[in-house]
Amino acid sequence: MKRKAKPIKFIPDWLRHYERGDFRFDLVAGLTVGVMLIPQGMAYAMIAGLPPVYGLYASTLPAVIYAWFGTSRHLSVGPGALTALLTAAGVGLIAQAGTTEYMAMVTILVLTVGLIQFTLGFARLGFLVNFLSHPVILGFTSAAAILIGLSQLKHLLGISLTKTQHIQEIFMELIPQLTNIHLLTLLLGSAGLVILILFQKYLRTFPGALVTVFASILVTWLFRLDLQGIKIVGQIPGGLSLPKFTSFSLPNFMTLFPTAFAIALVSFMESTAIARAIQARHRNYQLDTNRELISIGLANISSGLIQSTPVTGGMSRSSVNDLAGARTGMSMIISSVLIVMTLLFLTPLFYFLPNAILAAVIMVAVSSLLKISEARKLWKLDRKDFWMMMATFTGTLFLGIGPGIGIGVLLSLGWIIFETSYPHHAELGKVPGSHSFRNVRRFKNLEVAEGVLIFRFDAPLFFANINRFREVLSDYKKQRKDLIHTIIIDMEGIHSIDSSALEVFTDLVEETKKENIQILLAEVKGPVRDKFYRSGLTAKLGQSHFFVTVEDAFDAIKGQKKDSPSGIAMQTNAAPDL
């Protein structure tokens, strides 16, 4: 029976059962994450090619929307490095950063991202994100981390570089510019990097980024470093960004749709991975994947309405939220209130904020995406996964973000097709003194009956692998030195069979019958039995060829046991008149 979707509750569970004692924990966590979001949000807006204040907008209403509708009580939703980079890569194809057209295109992009996520969640299609494998995501995020870091070199070195997403172009332009490095900017940015790294290493829950930001603002103001060539953020508009509606253009929508789809999947996968990791430490609530898609989709729709950036769950923010003692989504609402207060009253304080410090904040934040230890682990565990990761990594670095994701998706789908077309299979033998059967190529001293081949195929049978099934079965027959008179097919791993496979399977039964070889079937799943019944194969084989277990079939051949109890191995839900 199809499971019904859970309805969206307009009053979250955590609020229905909110306890007074939880508030002080949520307050501390909310304020801690809020002060962390201020510099982080501004920095991520720069990656997206938007003014820093847009990152603050993305940390207000969208965070409240997710806290209200989401199922994670610790996920901190706001602007993210990967989504910002994808935004710049996609919108940069059709508009110049900083222009009115660029900002309008970002709005259309964010709204599209939200609509895609909401639609996928409402249609209960959250499983689609599983088509991007872990090695592919690892390769993409590692390459993206490098590209994000290199994109900030112009702010850290005080030089001029054009915006590009190709590592070879970055270096070709960077090398001639090395003689133009502004030493004071480099000194300030490097000092910020060192301080931020020390904070991240030794005081993870301390708002080190905010302290570094305000310290740099104070130094810049006291010594008027802006007059000595240090580039600063400058005037930041105060107040809130109210919901607005931008003009819709179908050609622009179609151009941005591939980027929006990529952001929708990447942001959801990133958010879900973080939420699951944190929820594993808390057993007082459960995650609902499709509800998460709907909630993040609503958060992105709200972000588009206030003309901000795409939002996603952030690992560092969410971890700090958890470590600071957050109990419920109230912590994120408190964080949003703090950002609103900053927008209303504190934006003038950021006038003297050096761009080099924001670049340092970005570099330290994305460094966690570069996971060399994970790559080493893949090399040891599975070389295939390692090379998939490297292909995605290299493609993203040299071909760009879009092609990199495309390579990853194609590799993931290609491997799924390969795995189902060429699944594991084995010839089985009985473990003496037990009821178990194992692979004769892995285990020694197994009992193999003269003239009996026991064959297992570990995948559903369909048009792409049925000929493979036929080929490997023939190979096993040829490899045996004795004359085969019986083939027992262990169908425990075959949970479905399509019409193409059924036709070939029927032909196989008839061919073996001409060779005076009988086929016995064991562990046949219900849906497969139904197909056999409807096709007439059950009638052709007869009840004596169906067994509940491989052992039943094996013992029947040896004359040690009678056929399986009547009806059990043959049971079918197929209608009699079909």
CATH of the domain at 457: 3.30.750.24
* Residue 557 vs residues 5, 139, 202, 291: alpha-carbon distances, Å: 49, 52, 69, 53
- Residue that terminates a domain, selected from 374, 393, 416: 416
pLDDT at 234: 87
- Do 310 and 254 lie in one domain? The reply is yes
Separation of alpha carbons 45 and 106, rounded Å: 11
- Are the beta carbons of 271 and 75 closer than 8 angstroms? yes
Q: At residue 341, does pLDDT exceed 60?
A: yes
On whether residue 7 sits in a domain, the answer given is: no
Q: At residue 568, does pLDDT exceed 70?
A: no
- Do 408 and 432 lie in one domain? The reply is no
- Do 395 and 454 lie in one domain? The reply is no
> Could you tell me the pLDDT band of residue 498, with boundaries at 50, 70 and 90?
very high
On whether residue 32 sits in a domain, the answer given is: yes
Q: At residue 402, does pLDDT exceed 80?
A: no
- Do 286 and 344 lie in one domain? The reply is yes
- Do 329 and 366 lie in one domain? The reply is yes
- Do 274 and 327 lie in one domain? The reply is yes
- Are the beta carbons of 72 and 275 closer than 8 angstroms? yes
- Do 552 and 438 lie in one domain? The reply is yes
Domain count, the chain: 2
The mean-pLDDT minimum among 233-237, 245-249, 412-416, 472-476 falls in: 245-249
Kindly report the backbone phi and psi dihedral angles of residue 295, in degrees, each rounded to the nearest multiple of 5, phi listed first. Answer: -65, -45
- Do 110 and 44 lie in one domain? The reply is yes
Residue % of the chain over a pLDDT of 70? 93
On whether residue 569 sits in a domain, the answer given is: no
Q: At residue 578, does pLDDT exceed 80?
A: no
The mean-pLDDT minimum among 124-133, 265-274, 377-386 falls in: 124-133
Non-local CB neighbours of 293 within 8 Å, separated by 6+ positions: 117, 118, 120, 121, 125, 126, 268
On whether residue 27 sits in a domain, the answer given is: yes
pLDDT at 478: 92
On whether residue 87 sits in a domain, the answer given is: yes
Q: Which of 487, 494, 462 is nearest to 473 (CA)?
A: 487
pLDDT digits (tens, 9 = 90+) for 296-319: 999 999 999 998 999 999 888 888
pLDDT at 208: 82
- Do 327 and 456 lie in one domain? The reply is no
pLDDT digits (tens, 9 = 90+) for 145-162: 898 888 889 899 998 887
pLDDT at 1: 43
Q: Which of 77, 153, 110 is nearest to 359 (CA)?
A: 153
pLDDT digits (tens, 9 = 90+) for 190-246: 999 999 999 888 887 777 888 899 999 999 999 999 999 899 988 888 888 777 766
- Do 463 and 356 lie in one domain? The reply is no
On whether residue 512 sits in a domain, the answer given is: yes
Q: Mean pLDDT of all residues in the chain?
A: 87
The mean pLDDT of 88-100, rounded to a whole number, is: 86
Separation of alpha carbons 102 and 82, rounded Å: 19
DSSP letter, residue 562: P
pLDDT at 238: 81
- Do 153 and 201 lie in one domain? The reply is yes
- Give the domain range for residue 475: 424-557
The mean pLDDT of 161-174, rounded to a whole number, is: 82
Q: At residue 565, does pLDDT exceed 70?
A: no
Kindly report the backbone phi and psi dihedral angles of residue 446, in degrees, each rounded to the nearest multiple of 5, phi listed first. Answer: -85, 155
On whether residue 302 sits in a domain, the answer given is: yes
pLDDT at 576: 52
On whether residue 575 sits in a domain, the answer given is: no
Q: Other C-beta atoms within 10 Å of 440: how many?
A: 16
**Who has greater pLDDT, 330 or 236?**
330
> Could you tell me the pLDDT band of residue 109, with boundaries at 50, 70 and 90?
very high
Separation of alpha carbons 318 and 234, rounded Å: 30
Q: Other C-beta atoms within 10 Å of 107: how many?
A: 23
Over the range 176-204, which residues count as b (16 or more CB within 10 Å of their CB) and which as e?
eeeeeebebbeebbebbbebbeebbeeee
pLDDT at 5: 47
* Residue 14 vs residues 33, 66, 68, 437: alpha-carbon distances, Å: 19, 13, 9, 50
- Do 145 and 161 lie in one domain? The reply is yes
